[in-house]
Amino acid sequence: MPCTVIVGAFWGDEGKGKIISYLALKDNIDFCVRTGSVNAAHTVWYEGKKYALHMVPAAFINPKTRLLIAAGANVDVKTFFAEVEQTQVQGRIAIDQSASIIEEKHAAADKASAVNKGIGTTGRGVGPALEERVRRTAKLAKDIPELKNYLTDEVQEVNDGLDIGKKVLLEGTQGFMLSLFLGGGYPYVTGRDTGASAIASEAGVGPTRVDDVLIVYKSFITRVGAGPLPGEITKEEAQKRGWFEVAAGTGRDRRSASFDFDLAKKTAKINGATQGAMTKLDCIFPSCRSVKKYSDLPKEAKEFIKEVEDKTGVPITLIGTGPEAMDIVDRR
C-alpha cells in the first residue's frame, strides 16, 4: 500500500474478486479501479449473497470506496447500468471519459467469427471492440449521452489520490496466462495484455507509483474455452475431487488441473509479485473451511503453503478458506 496491483496467476478464475472484496473491507480502500472488460466476471460473496460482476469493481462492498473504470477499459453500457442498479453504487462509481465502448455489433461479430468458434471466446464482443480501438474508430465513454453523469478523469483522480497517500487497488481481470503477448498457447489467449504492468498502464498509473503486486493463485488450476492446460484432468475426476466449477460470467464448464509450481514461479517472476494470495485452500484441504487463523490450519495445508512460498519466492500473505469475503487467513 498505498497502491497495489491485483493480478491473476493462471488462466483466470483464481478468486481475485474475493481477495479484492476482503482488502476493500479490511484495509478500507479509498479507490478501486477496474481494468479489462466484460469477458471476465469477478465473484463476490458477502453476507450470504453472491455477485458476479463484469463491470463494477469488486470493492463495491465497502460503501466508502470510490469505484472507477479505467481509461484503458472497454465498457458494455447495458451491463454497467444493470450492475450499478444491482450493487446500488450510484454516486460513487465513474468511468474514465476515454474508456472505449462495446456495441451490439461487436457482440454479433464476435459470436459469428471463426476465431470465436475456434478459440472459444465469451462472445461478448470484446475482441471486435478492441480491433476498433486499435483502428482509432471506436466510440468512447464521452460519446455516449447516457453516461454523461458517470464520466470522470480516472487517471487524474487516482494519481491525485496517490499524491496524498490514499489507498488504491488496481483490479486486474482474467489471468496472466491469457495475456495476448506474454501468456501461453497463442492464439488461445485474450485480446490484451493481462499482466501487472499492463493493469497499471490501463489505469494510467506509472510503474514507480506501484507499491505491491499481489498475485492471486488458486489451490488448483482452471480455465474455460479452448487452448492448452498442462496436467488437465477429466471432468469426472474434477467432480470427484471437488474441483469442478462453472464460470461465473458465462456458465461454461471450467477445465481443471493440479497446481503447477513451476508455472506459479514463472508468473510471479514476470509480474514482479511482492505478495501472493492462495484461494480455495478448503477445496484440497476441507478441514480448512472458514478458518481465520494460520495456527488453526492443518499441518498438510501449512506444508502446501510453504512449498508454494519456497518454490516461487513469494510470501503467501492471504489465504482463502471459504467463499465469503471474510473467509481469509491474513498473515500480513
Cβ-Cβ contacts under 8 Å for 235 (sequence gap 6 or more): 244, 253, 255, 256
Report which of residues 122 and 41 the model is more confident about: 41
SS3 46: strand
* DSSP annotation of 254: P
Calculate mean pLDDT across residues 24-49.
95
Give pTM, 2 decimals: 0.95
Given a cut of 90, is residue 66 above it in pLDDT? yes
Calculate mean pLDDT across residues 223-243.
93
Angle, alpha carbons 213-218-219 (nearest 5°): 135
Reported as a pLDDT band with limits 50, 70 and 90, residue 121 is: confident
Given a cut of 70, is residue 116 above it in pLDDT? no
Given a cut of 80, is residue 177 above it in pLDDT? yes
CATH value of 3-330 in 1.20.810.10, 3.40.718.10, 3.40.440.10, 1.10.486.10: 3.40.440.10
Calculate mean pLDDT across residues 166-188.
95
Query: Out of 30, 42, 193, 327, which one is annotated catalytic?
Result: 42
Reported as a pLDDT band with limits 50, 70 and 90, residue 69 is: very high
Residue type, 1: M
Q: What percent of the chain has pLDDT over 70?
A: 97
What does the radius of gyration of the chain's CA atoms come to, in whole angstroms?
19
Q: Is 106 a catalytic residue?
A: no
Residue 119: what pLDDT?
Answer: 75
Q: Is 30 a catalytic residue?
A: no
Query: Out of 13, 96, 193, 260, which one is annotated catalytic?
Result: 13
